[in-house]
Amino acid sequence: MNFRRFEDSFGHWPEFRGSKLRKLFDCLTLFVEGYDNHNDEIYMIPEVRKFFIELHRRWPWWAYFVCDVEANLAIPYLCLIDHVESIKRANDLMCTAAFNPVHLLEIIQADYGRMNYLMDRAGMTDQENNKRSQQILDLFVPRSGGAK
């Protein structure tokens, strides 16, 4: 729960506008180590959930900076949901997260406002903003017609 190194690296973002802030978009990858042999999915582990809840409290604009590699956008959001279950079916390699989408959508909607603010400060287009917003939404509410 020591965020000092993180804050030293990313806590200065309010100083930036334009191209300096734009360079920080989609640049951060979050990894959680030490739970490789844990039976639960990473978003189910209380210590991991506590970390991402605190990260979101201290740095609620993280969705602008985090890139979607190895579920970097999905895992923090799954940790923020009050109640989430992990379901694994026989012969499936991956688990499925089950949760009430209303709570998640409330969190995402609040984050969109912060993300939109940063994208505006960075001089990003509405198209770029819409693409990122849809990318996050697609993680949890797939579009009809075969999209993710």
Q: Which residues form the domain of 59?
A: 14-140
DSSP annotation of 42: G
The burial class, CB within 10 Å (0-12 / 13-18 / 19+), for 80 is: buried
Non-local (6+) Cβ contacts of 139 within 8 A are: 68, 73, 74, 77, 148
Above 70 in pLDDT, residue 20? yes
Q: Is residue 145 part of a domain?
A: no
List the single range of 15-24, 50-59, 94-103 with lowest mean pLDDT. Answer: 94-103
What is the model's pLDDT at position 23?
A: 93
Non-local (6+) Cβ contacts of 118 within 8 A are: 13, 21, 25, 61, 64
Q: Is residue 114 part of a domain?
A: yes
Q: Is residue 2 part of a domain?
A: no
pLDDT average, residue stretch 119-129:
95
Residues of the chain above pLDDT 90, percent:
45
What is the model's pLDDT at position 148?
A: 44
Mean of all residue pLDDT scores within the chain: 87
- List residues bridging with 66 in a β-sheet: 28
What is the model's pLDDT at position 100?
A: 87
Structural domain count, the chain: 1
pLDDT in tens, 71-106: 889 999 999 999 988 887 777 777 788 888 899 999
Q: Is residue 1 part of a domain?
A: no
Q: Is residue 22 part of a domain?
A: yes
